[in-house]
Every structure is written in structure tokens, then in C-alpha cells.
Amino acid sequence: MTAFTVWKFEDPTGAQRAASVLEDAEAEGLVTIVDHAVMSWPVGATKPQTHHKHDDPKRGAAWGALWGVLTGALFMVPVVGGVVGVAIGALAKSTEGAGITKEDLTRIRTEIVEGTSALFLVTEDGNLDRLGERFRGSDKTLLSTNLTDAEREILLETFGG
């Protein structure tokens, strides 16, 4: 099963640390990372910075394009009343095929603020129990996923957040 998730971390380096843990887990065969991007918004910066890792060149290209559109449109549009709503509505049309709703986009836009970071992740074949052990106690929140409600509950029970 291919899972799209967005995890928020309460510090600007949390998402990068989590990405490193996942890369180690992938090397051990615990998960397949199809693609991921790390967004960090350091304190004092005017906007977040996004770094995309091309994990699977065959399938990651489409996700890489999505990361660019998603992060660019969400965080480069000024936060002025209806302007953000219109921009998010238009963006939702282009992300609906990936299972990312307008509500997901709004939550990502409002939750990722200065002093935080986010890990945008596409994975397959994860050993949730063993992965969950590596993330217990980390300060993270699941912002978005394309999983069913039942799958989401299992994910939250395993990883917390």
C-alpha cells in the first residue's frame, strides 16, 4: 500500500531528523521510501525552505513536481483573507488525485509556521511496529494522509501524534 503522510514537528530540524531515521529504516528493509520532502521554517525566516529528495527516480518525479507546487502555492501566497482561500481551492483541484483534500491543504498551511518543520512522505511496505519504536516520544503531529480512517487509527496508535 502506498501511503502519503505529512508530519509536523515542533522545531525547525525535527523533520530532517525524522527523515534520517526513515532512511536508516529503509536501509534495514523496514520501509520503502518512494519520495519525500523536508520543509523547515527557521525562527526569523520570512518563509519556509523545502528540500526534496529524489528517492525513486521512476516514481518520484511526479511526487517531486507535487512537492514544488504544494509548498510553493501554499507558502508563497500572502495570507490575506479570501486570497488564501482561492489559492487553496485551486491547489486542491491539482492535488485531489493524490488524496490531498482542501481541508488537508488548509491545515498544512495553518500548522506549519515559523519555528516548525514538516516531513512530506510517500512510503510503501512499512513495518509499522518496528518503525513506530523509532519514533516513540518524538514531538510530531500527523497533519495529512491518504489512508482510510481505520489505517489512520493504526498509524496513530503505532507512531503517536
Number of alpha carbons in the 13 Å side-chain half-sphere of residue 143: 26
Whether this model's pTM surpasses 0.85: no
Question: Quick check: helix, strand or coil at residue 118?
Answer: strand
* 29 C-beta neighbours (distance < 10 Å), count: 10
pLDDT of residue 105: 76
pLDDT of residue 60: 47
Low-confidence ranges of the chain (pLDDT < 70): 1, 54-99, 158-161
Domain boundaries, the chain: 2-159
pLDDT of residue 94: 56
pLDDT of residue 26: 92
Residue 100 to residue 97: CA distance in whole angstroms: 7
pLDDT of residue 102: 74
